[in-house]
């Protein structure tokens, strides 16, 4: 099942993002290797990030997001997770 994870940057998110980006990308690497990362990247208005990832359950998506280095180290001040149904591309 696909999930949209929206991470909203905290007050020092932009500065902290540069420091913790390697750990954040390393955390995503196993999912990337498994083909479970549909897309991921920062929002260009510098409010946070968007990830569309595949997990077996909402609980698994929440666990991943809450343990991500961006959340643990204060890049994100909060996250939202939503189940997602991809229509396009097929």
Task: Please give the pLDDT value at position 71.
Answer: 98
High-pLDDT (> 70) share of the chain, %: 100
- Is residue 28 a part of any domain in this protein? yes
- Is residue 90 a part of any domain in this protein? no
- Is residue 89 a part of any domain in this protein? no
- Is residue 78 a part of any domain in this protein? yes
Task: Please give the pLDDT value at position 31.
Answer: 98
Number of domains within the chain: 1
- Is residue 47 a part of any domain in this protein? yes
pLDDT (mean) for 3-20: 96
Residue 12: which domain range?
2-84
Domain harbouring 11, CATH code: 3.30.70.1060
Task: Please give the pLDDT value at position 74.
Answer: 97
Report which of 78, 74, 79 is spatially closest to residue 12, judged by C-alpha positions.
74
pLDDT band at 88 (very low <50, low <70, confident <90, very high): very high
Report which of 48, 41, 43, 37 is spatially closest to residue 75, judged by C-alpha positions.
48
- Is residue 18 a part of any domain in this protein? yes
High-pLDDT (> 90) share of the chain, %: 98
Distance CA 53, CA 63 (A): 13
Task: Please give the pLDDT value at position 3.
Answer: 98
- Is residue 15 a part of any domain in this protein? yes
Task: Please give the pLDDT value at position 58.
Answer: 98
The length of the chain is 90
- What are the φ and ψ backbone dihedral angles of 85, each rounded to 5 degrees? -110, 115
Write down the mean pLDDT value for the chain. 97
């Amino acid at each position: 099942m696909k999930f949209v994870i929206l991470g909203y940057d905290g007050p020092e998110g932009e500065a902290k993002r540069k420091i913790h980006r390697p750990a954040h990308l390393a955390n995503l690497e196993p999912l990337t290797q498994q083909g479970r990362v549909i897309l991921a990247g920062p929002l260009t208005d510098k409010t946070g990030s968007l990830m569309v990832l595949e997990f077996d359950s909402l609980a698994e998506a929440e666990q991943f997001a809450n343990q991500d280095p961006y959340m643990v180290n204060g890049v994100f001040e909060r996250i939202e997770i939503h189940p997602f149904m991809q229509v396009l591309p097929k």
